[in-house]
Structure 1
Amino acid sequence: MTSLEDSLAVIRRFADAGSGRPLFLAVGTFDGVHRGHQVILRRLAADAAEAGAEPVAMTFDPHPRAVVRPDEAPPLLLTLEDRVQRLKEHGAQRVLVVPFNREFASLEPEEFVRHVLVERLRARRVYVGFSFTFGRGGRGTPALLRQIGEPLGLEVRQLGPVTEAGQVLSSTVIRQALAAGDVAAALRYLGRPHAVSGPVLPGRRQGRGLGFPTANLADDGRVLWPTDGVYAVRARWDGGMWAGVANLGGRPTIDPAGPRLLEVHLLDFHGDLYGRRLSVEFIDRLRDVRKFPSVEALREQIARDVRQARDILARGGWLCYHPTGFQRGPRDR
């Protein structure tokens, strides 16, 4: 268990390792690094480049709600490693991961601004979203941040919400979309497909027996999986990328007592992926998981799923067959 002193030590070491340039800082949990977050990061990077400053993102681990309201802790959209990578991809040159604990959560807003942002980090400018809160009980708001910080020489930039078809984008909205199986909406909100990953597990070769071999993954609880269903997907491993169709859930027709798995059939793929780490990106939902009257009826439905997935992926520019050596598909350019 980390303490406040542990958190402040991380911040101090980070500040001491700085570039010597003025520090522009984006602050937030940034779970998912969705399109709303990306607007903040792009503004941070552009302003820092113009001012000769260093663009830095501050995030927190674990998720603050897991500490202050554990019974309401949300499932994560990204692992911490992937969150850091995405923050850098979208404009941060460095990422400060602050260990979040009850003592850190108990800092009054004034203490957080004066002692953390100004004195320890020596931030020149801070960027936050419209719903940003900080300090004990979430009392701090962007307006209070400006009220406390500006007399101390800390500039504050608050960015407004990003909307999609009238929906304000947030990590919560994306979780709701995934819980409903609406991975196409999650893709629009994130600006990329939602992905889960894990090692390919040995299976009972039931898919192969049906004529549709699968690479099987189990839910390790690190990030949120969509609700059960059949999905058009894209898989990545070791720099390779391949289109596919996936069954997420059980197998009520052939293995009703079996565990919940993500079974990915890669279109026209011939190879062995056992033991490799596979990342599976969800593009669109095809149907519910359901029980069929016979194995033959299941086989016929899977063939229809494959055709539908191939059509969806082709129309959306997601169709790809690159077993080695990453090649960018139309949607990656």
Structure 2
Amino acid sequence: METIHNISQFNDIQFQTVTTIGTFDGVHLGHRKILERLTNNAKKTGLKSTVLTFFPHPRMVLQKDVDIKLLNTLEEKTQILETLGLEYLIVHPFTKEFSRLSATDFVNDILVNGLKTKKIIIGYDHRFGRNRNANIQDLIAFGETLDFEVEEIPAQEVDDISVSSTKIRKALLEGDITTANNYLSYAYMLTGTIKKGKGMGRDFGFPTANLHIAETYKLIPKTGAYVVNSTINGKVYFGMMNIGFNPTVDGTEKSIEVNFFDFEGDLYGQKIQVSLLHRIRDEQKFSSIEELKTQLKKDKDYSLELISK
């Protein structure tokens, strides 16, 4: 898959595309149905399968929605899409100026001249153009004039996608990682850089890697302890992760700390991706450090038992 970060860099292509448009946050099961339809159509027709998405998320620009939480960072979304057999991913910068394109200009400049679209696969409720004033019937009419086909995604499939996204976010915020992972069809991931912490985990016999996530829009699951894994230097390591405030030692700032089993080495400054496999328990305040250490040993035993299965 080739990733292109501005549609203007795609203008010189000599082939035609079958295209779909969307944010595809999470790239979950519902999205995959559409993307499978896209790639299958490309194989049958010889067109190039192309996804057009936008960054920042339109709500960040138009509504200044600083509290919006997304399931994927742009890097994570690109990584997942790359596994699905797509040929091109266009990540176009979303700006206020771009949002003011009329429907006619959007179809002509973006779909026809930019993407060389011969076919577009899109939801029945898709709206586009300035103030989102054009709908799929308008798109079909444009297609008849400008010689491209519109394939409408049925209401049921679009509704499934909406429900899936809502359920995934709700599940993660409730700590229901099993439901979230089932809808995603992969383990929810957190990607960040390992920063130095206070070193207390090492003192307890459970050295932790402190994961710092730069993207403030990334959805962080409910506080608590989780079973996780991560690929480090080409090898998969399992461990347990705590998301929370470390109340037993009077912590005040939220942190994400991972204790990897059987790992020895310095991770400071490294970028790693952690997959959440199972939730162990809520975060809690213990009456003493010894009580906390006892619980951590129980958490590790529980995690190792789950991993062995």
Asked if Structure 1 and Structure 2 have the same fold, meaning a TM-score greater than 0.5 normalized by the shorter chain, the answer is yes
- Conserved in 2, the CA contact under 8 Å of 1:32 and 1:190? yes
Structure 1 residues 26-41: aligned runs within 5 Å: 26-41=20-35
- 1:259 matched to 2:253: yes
Structure 1 residues 143-292: aligned runs within 5 Å: 143-160=137-154, 161=156, 169-220=163-214, 221=216, 223-254=218-249, 256-292=250-286
Label 1:302 to 1:144 Cα distance change in 2 as closer, same or farther (>3 A). farther
TM-score (normalizing by structure 1)? 0.82
The answer for the alignment partner of 1:13 in structure 2 is 9
- 1:309 matched to 2:303: yes
How big is the shift at 1:52? 1.2
Structure 2, unaligned stretches of length 5 or more? Answer: none
Residue 200 of structure 1 aligns to a residue whose secondary structure is: strand
Query: What per-residue deviation string (whole Å, max 9, x for no partner) do you get for residues 296-332 of structure 1?
Result: 21111111211222233343xxxxxxxxxxxxxxxxx
The answer for the alignment partner of 2:111 in structure 1 is 117
**2: CA distance, partners of 1:193 / 1:115:** 38
Query: What per-residue deviation string (whole Å, max 9, x for no partner) do you get for residues 16-43 of structure 1?
Result: 1x2x332111211112222222221111
How big is the shift at 1:258? 4.3
The answer for the alignment partner of 1:331 in structure 2 is none
Runs of 4+ in structure 1 deviating by more than 6 angstroms, as ranges, are none
TM-score (normalizing by structure 2)? 0.88
More deviation in 40-49 or 126-135? 126-135
Label 1:74 to 1:304 Cα distance change in 2 as closer, same or farther (>3 A). same
Label 1:205 to 1:131 Cα distance change in 2 as closer, same or farther (>3 A). farther
How big is the shift at 1:47? 1.1
- Conserved in 1, the CA contact under 8 Å of 2:66 and 2:217? no
How big is the shift at 1:73? 5.8
Label 1:142 to 1:250 Cα distance change in 2 as closer, same or farther (>3 A). same
Residue 279 of structure 1 aligns to a residue whose secondary structure is: strand
- Conserved in 2, the CA contact under 8 Å of 1:232 and 1:284? yes
The answer for the alignment partner of 1:319 in structure 2 is none
**1: CA distance, partners of 2:255 / 2:189:** 15
Residue 267 of structure 2 aligns to a residue whose secondary structure is: coil
How big is the shift at 1:138? 2.9
Label 1:113 to 1:224 Cα distance change in 2 as closer, same or farther (>3 A). same
Aligned-residue Cα RMSD (Å) equals 2.5
**2: CA distance, partners of 1:144 / 1:132:** 10
The answer for the alignment partner of 2:44 in structure 1 is 50
Residue 299 of structure 2 aligns to a residue whose secondary structure is: helix
More deviation in 265-274 or 168-177? 168-177
**2: CA distance, partners of 1:69 / 1:304:** 46
**2: CA distance, partners of 1:82 / 1:36:** 17
**2: CA distance, partners of 1:143 / 1:14:** 27
**2: CA distance, partners of 1:26 / 1:163:** 13
The answer for the alignment partner of 1:321 in structure 2 is none
How big is the shift at 1:63? 0.4
Query: What per-residue deviation string (whole Å, max 9, x for no partner) do you get for residues 34-67 of structure 1?
Result: 2222221111111111211111111111101112
Residue 225 of structure 2 aligns to a residue whose secondary structure is: strand
**2: CA distance, partners of 1:199 / 1:240:** 18
Query: What per-residue deviation string (whole Å, max 9, x for no partner) do you get for residues 235-261 of structure 1?
Result: 22333321111111111112x134211
How big is the shift at 1:106? 1.8
- Conserved in 2, the CA contact under 8 Å of 1:184 and 1:284? yes
Label 1:72 to 1:173 Cα distance change in 2 as closer, same or farther (>3 A). farther
- 1:59 matched to 2:53: yes
Structure 1, unaligned stretches of length 5 or more? Answer: 1-8, 316-333
Residue 96 of structure 1 aligns to a residue whose secondary structure is: strand
- Conserved in 2, the CA contact under 8 Å of 1:88 and 1:94? no
